[in-house]
């Protein structure tokens, strides 16, 4: 599969190449997903994506693009074990007090629209919506549906984004360390901003340098980038109930565990 400015969240702007080639996972990469879960470490998952890239070092990959490509792998690599969404519908249903007929919001709208569009003669054989008394209740239908890439929406890197020269996009070379530092009480409050600071070597070194700085200018610049500059895949999907068509927002967890379900 080729990823370029048309389908990659970063539009390939952070890379020396303008088209990234990636194959699908094989059993070796699925094994790395299991290792990532077993050791609670993102690095094997990063290595798995790296195995599949033919013309870009995975360490250069931005975090936003990494999670998009990880999602793509989950959806496409396991054809016989699709990613499934399970939920109980929270949408509203209605029941006619006199006739006991169940109505969805959509069917009520159709009934009203048909009534308003009908002439006087046709209305003689129709139910006047004003005469229907309804009681509301929760749909609660149990849904179990396949999740596809079309269910997700992407945040694309804006064309006019210009980074402070002291900063760089968060990359996969520090992603695993970043996740671990979020659990460290000494650095968890700095990790989100610190991963934007340009540098080489471990992220912890950049955070230590940040802590030892004499002012907050670099920290605030990094915080602004974390807040304002985004690209990647949204972790919420909208799925329509198969019974009432209510669209419900669901969280799809994009991590190595998703490959083992």
Is 256 a domain residue? no
CA dihedral for 198, 203, 208, 211, sign (positive or negative)? positive
Predicted structure pTM score: 0.89
Q: Please tell me whether residues 111 and 130 are part of one structural domain.
A: yes
User: 37-50: per-residue pLDDT in tens?
Assistant: 999 999 999 999 99
User: Two tokens at 13?
Assistant: 């702007």
User: 72 lies in a domain?
Assistant: yes
Residue 104 sits in the same domain as residue 229 = no
The count of structural domains within the chain is 2
Tell me: the pLDDT tens digits for 133-182? 999 999 999 999 999 999 999 999 999 999 999 999 999 999 999 999 99
Are residues 165 and 66 both part of a single domain?
yes
Residues 107 and 201 in one domain: no
> Rounded mean pLDDT of the chain?
94
Structural domain boundaries, residue 118: 92-138
The answer on 76 and 42 residing in a single domain is yes
Q: Are residues 58 and 41 in the same domain?
A: yes
Q: How confident is the model at residue 213 (pLDDT cuts 50, 70, 90)?
A: confident
Query: 4: pLDDT confidence band, cut at 50, 70 and 90?
Result: very high
* Same domain (yes/no): 130, 54: no
Question: Are 116 and 199 in a shared domain?
Answer: no
Per the domain annotation, does 249 fall within a domain? no
Are residues 74 and 203 part of one domain? yes
- In the chain, where does DSSP find H-type helix? 27-38, 43-52, 63-77, 105-117, 120-123, 175-181, 188-194, 203-211, 217-228
Does 158 lie in the same domain as 53? Answer: yes
Closest by CA position to 247, among listed 108, 154, 151, 153: 151
How much is the average pLDDT of 192-214? Answer: 91
Do residue 11 and residue 125 come from a single domain? Answer: no
DSSP class of residue 39 equals T
Is residue 202 one of the residues assigned to a domain?
A: yes
**Same domain for 191 and 65:** yes
């Amino acid at each position: 599969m080729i990823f370029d400015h048309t389908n990659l969240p970063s539009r390939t702007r952070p890379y020396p190449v303008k088209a990234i080639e990636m194959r699908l996972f094989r059993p070796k990469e699925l094994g790395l997903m299991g290792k990532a879960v077993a050791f609670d470490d993102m690095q094997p998952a990063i290595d798995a994506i790296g195995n599949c890239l033919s013309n870009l070092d995975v360490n250069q990959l931005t975090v936003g693009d990494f999670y998009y490509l990880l999602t793509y792998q989950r959806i496409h690599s396991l054809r016989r074990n699709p990613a499934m969404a399970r939920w109980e519908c929270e949408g509203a249903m209605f029941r006619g007090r006199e006739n006991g007929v169940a109505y969805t919001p959509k069917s009520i709208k159709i009934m009203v629209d048909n009534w308003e569009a009908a002439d006087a003669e046709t209305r003689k054989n129709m139910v006047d919506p004003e005469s229907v008394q309804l009681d509301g209740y929760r749909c609660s239908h149990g849904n179990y549906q396949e999740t596809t890439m079309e269910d997700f929406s992407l945040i694309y890197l804006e064309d006019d984004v210009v980074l402070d020269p002291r900063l760089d996009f968060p990359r996969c070379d520090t992603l695993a360390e970043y996740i671990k530092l979020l659990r460290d009480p000494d650095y968890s409050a700095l990790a989100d901003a610190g991963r934007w600071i340009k540098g080489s070597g471990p992220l912890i070194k950049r955070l230590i340098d940040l802590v030892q700085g004499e002012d907050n200018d670099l920290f605030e610049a990094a915080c602004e980038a974390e807040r304002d500059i985004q690209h990647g895949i949204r972790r919420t999907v909208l799925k329509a109930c198969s019974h009432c068509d209510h669209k419900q927002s669901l969280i799809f967890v994009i991590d190595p565990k998703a490959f083992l379900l």
